[in-house]
């Protein structure tokens, strides 16, 4: 005899229609479609849902995936988008070293005329110029290159 279900799934008609659209359209990531199929199979509003093992075989995922989707449905208070969608990326824990004003000043410096006797700016030349500039933190030439690349600026 199997254990009683810890997490039950009750879908509204609107959620059910949304999941059916996700499954049938074919324009979504495979994981999203698999999770939507699991939720549709576990829906108890249409009658008693089958066992986790049966749902896993029918959908083509593992039993632990079925368990985790049902658990996520209850922990997210039945919000289907949060269960089937990807998690939002958390901001990085470390603040960027070069941002805003410093980045703008560096790009402005790279857009100026190179020093006398030079045809163009190089990363190492910019590195030496940044050290001489007031109010700018010292930066390595590779950091300067990344900032310029992020700003879509080419030194050629």
**123-132 vs 141-150: helix axis angle to the nearest 10?**
100
Rounded to two decimals, the pTM is: 0.58
Between 152 and 121, name the one with better pLDDT. Answer: 121
Q: Is the pLDDT of residue 25 over 90?
A: no
Nearest Cα residue to 67 out of 1, 23, 2: 2
Q: How confident is the model at residue 155, as a pLDDT?
A: 74
Nearest Cα residue to 152 out of 89, 92, 91, 103: 103
**pLDDT digit string (tens) for 27-75?**
888 998 999 999 989 888 877 878 888 989 988 999 999 899 889 988 8
Q: What is the mean pLDDT of the chain?
A: 86
Q: Is the pLDDT of residue 2 over 60?
A: no
Between 141 and 156, name the one with better pLDDT. Answer: 141
Q: For the residues of 114-134, what is the DSSP string, one character each?
A: PPTT-SS--HHHHHHHHHHST
The beta strand positions in 20-154, using DSSP E, are none
What percentage of the chain carries pLDDT values higher than 90? 18
Q: How confident is the model at residue 153, as a pLDDT?
A: 76
The 10 Å Cβ neighbour count of residue 74 is 13
Nearest Cα residue to 11 out of 41, 50, 55, 54: 41
What percentage of the chain carries pLDDT values higher than 70? 96
């Amino acid at each position: 005899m199997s254990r009683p279900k810890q997490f039950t799934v009750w879908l509204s008609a609107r959620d059910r229609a949304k999941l059916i659209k996700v499954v049938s359209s074919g324009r979504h990531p495979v994981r999203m479609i698999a999770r939507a199929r699991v939720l549709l199979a576990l829906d108890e509003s249409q009658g008693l849902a089958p066992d986790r093992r049966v749902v896993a075989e029918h959908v083509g995922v593992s039993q632990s995936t079925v368990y985790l989707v049902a658990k996520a449905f209850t922990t997210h208070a039945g919000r289907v988008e949060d269960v089937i969608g990807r998690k939002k990326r958390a901001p990085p824990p470390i603040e960027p070293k070069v941002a805003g004003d410093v980045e703008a000043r560096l790009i402005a410096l790279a857009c100026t005329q190179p020093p006398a006797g030079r045809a163009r700016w190089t990363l190492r030349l910019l590195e030496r110029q940044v050290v001489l500039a007031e109010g700018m933190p010292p930066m390595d030439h590779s950091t300067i290159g990344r900032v310029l690349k992020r700003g879509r600026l080419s030194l050629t």
